Amino acid sequence: MGLFKKKDDHDPFLDMAEEAASLPRGDEDLVQQSKKYRRLRVAAQYSPVAAIVAACAAFGTLALIPEQPDPIEPTLTTEGKAVAVSEVQSWLAEKPSPLPQGKFLGWDGYSDVPFPEVSDEEKNKSSYEPPTYSVERHHFSVEGPDNALYRVDVQVAIDESTGPHIIGDPSLMPRPITETDFQPDSPWPGMTDSGNVPDSVNTAIVSWQKAFVSGNSDELRQIVGDQNESHVYLPLAGVESAEVEVTNSAFFTENEDGDDVPGPTMLARVEITPTWASTGASATDQTAQMPVLTYDLLITDAQSGSPKVVAWGGPGEGQELKKYGNAVTGMNDQIVRGDDANGSDDTTGEDSSGDQPGDDVAPLPDGEDSASDADADGNQ
């Protein structure tokens, strides 16, 4: 005999419903009553299950709702910034000027000026009135004669009802000037300056510079060595002539037998002195200080007889450069040259780095580089 008696699930009312089907039509009310009872019983039997399923579905839906990101903090600013900037600029423009040849450089931020703490006893006095305004001190940088730098402070009160107000006139305090210019060992952290570049590299840099200021996209692409004809390179246009000088260079190193040795890929920092056609000034004019443009160059096969400049960027960007990373797609090279466009009207260039063969990241100091252009496509 079992320890527990099985529960009898037999329901006599169900028998009534089945027998009612064979009763005369005069007993139709009993049939309908039995069927109604059966539907209610089935609904009551399965309603807990349905409730659980519905709850699970609800929780599942909630789980699929993406978490809302934190609100973006506003840019560091204040209501008093506008009046403070206007005050300093007007102050510098006064005649006579408080700083002859003074040049406004920018806003450096602000500091809150706190009120002294008040004791609870003082606050409870009937004569106590809490302040209805806050005070800020805004900081600026200005430049004077001989590139001397100064700090200018101006005080602003912000009233709850009337807004910001200038308190007094600005101050002028000199900033310390270092006696010697600081020059790091290399402009690229972790890399050692190699000194003079090989003659072949210098030749490649001069060829790239001429193509870069030529205004001709095809010429620049050929100098880079990119064989993808859908790639367009954007040169500088409107330059009459230019000179280039290499100021720094460094090799990416490879580890051989436990020693770091120079690899085939290197970086070069160059300065280009352009002569714009619109100015007519000469780059060799000794009477004027010509502007200088600075670039970092990525150079492959640097220790071979045919190195190539394959990417360039702003100063400090060298270690992030990718081979052929300056190429753009979706732009007609005739538009770049200023010719009549017969091709696509799409002039919205998209950076193709990372999407085309050969767009490899410049190697880290312990990375592997190729010794030829073909191998470099997959091993930089």
Contact indicator for 365, 253 with CB cutoff of 8 Å: yes
pLDDT exceeding 70 applies to what percent of the chain?
63
pLDDT exceeding 90 applies to what percent of the chain?
44
Residue 307 has pLDDT above 70, yes or no: yes
Choosing among 3.10.450, 1.20.1280, 3.30.1370, 2.60.40, the CATH entry for 81-117+129-174 is 3.10.450
Residue 340 has pLDDT above 50, yes or no: no
Give pLDDT tens digits for 184-208.
788 999 898 988 899 999 999 999 9
Lowest mean pLDDT among 13-27, 229-243, 261-275: 13-27
Compute the distance between CA of residue 379 and CA of residue 373 in angstroms, rounded to an integer.
10
**Cα–chain-centroid distance for residue 327?**
20
Average pLDDT over residues 48-60: 53
Q: Which amino acid is residue 357, in one-letter code?
A: P
Lowest mean pLDDT among 26-35, 210-219, 269-278, 359-368: 359-368
Residue 148 has pLDDT above 50, yes or no: yes
The pLDDT mean for the chain works out to 75
43 or 324: whose pLDDT is higher? Answer: 324
Contact indicator for 270, 308 with CB cutoff of 8 Å: no
Average pLDDT over residues 239-267: 87
Residue whose pair of structure tokens reads 């100064």 in the numeric block? 150
Going by C-alpha positions, the residue among 269, 261, 333, 259 that lies closest to residue 299 is 269
Q: Which amino acid is residue 312, in one-letter code?
A: W
Q: How confident is the model at residue 376 (pLDDT cuts 50, 70, 90)?
A: very low
Q: Residues spanned by CATH 3.10.450 within the chain?
A: 81-117+129-174
Residue 75 has pLDDT above 90, yes or no: no
Lowest mean pLDDT among 6-10, 199-203, 267-271: 6-10
Compute the distance between CA of residue 250 and CA of residue 196 in angstroms, rounded to an integer.
10
Residue 230 has pLDDT above 50, yes or no: yes
**What pLDDT shows up at residue 41?**
55
Q: How confident is the model at residue 259 (pLDDT cuts 50, 70, 90)?
A: confident
Average pLDDT over residues 271-281: 81
Residue 287 has pLDDT above 50, yes or no: no
**What pLDDT shows up at residue 342?**
40
Going by C-alpha positions, the residue among 231, 314, 220 that lies closest to residue 267 is 314
Q: What residue spans of 65-130 are helical by DSSP H?
A: 81-92, 120-123
Residue 343 has pLDDT above 50, yes or no: no
Q: Look up residue 134 and give its two tokens.
A: 């806050």
**What pLDDT shows up at residue 288?**
56
Most confident of 45-54, 147-156, 249-258: 147-156
Lowest mean pLDDT among 79-93, 212-226, 252-266: 252-266
Going by C-alpha positions, the residue among 76, 101, 84, 112 that lies closest to residue 171 is 84
368 or 30: whose pLDDT is higher? Answer: 30
Question: Using CA of residue 45, residue 47, residue 51, residue 57, what is the dihedral sign?
Answer: positive
Q: What residue spans of the chain are helical by DSSP H?
A: 12-20, 28-64, 81-92, 120-123, 199-212, 217-224, 333-337, 373-379
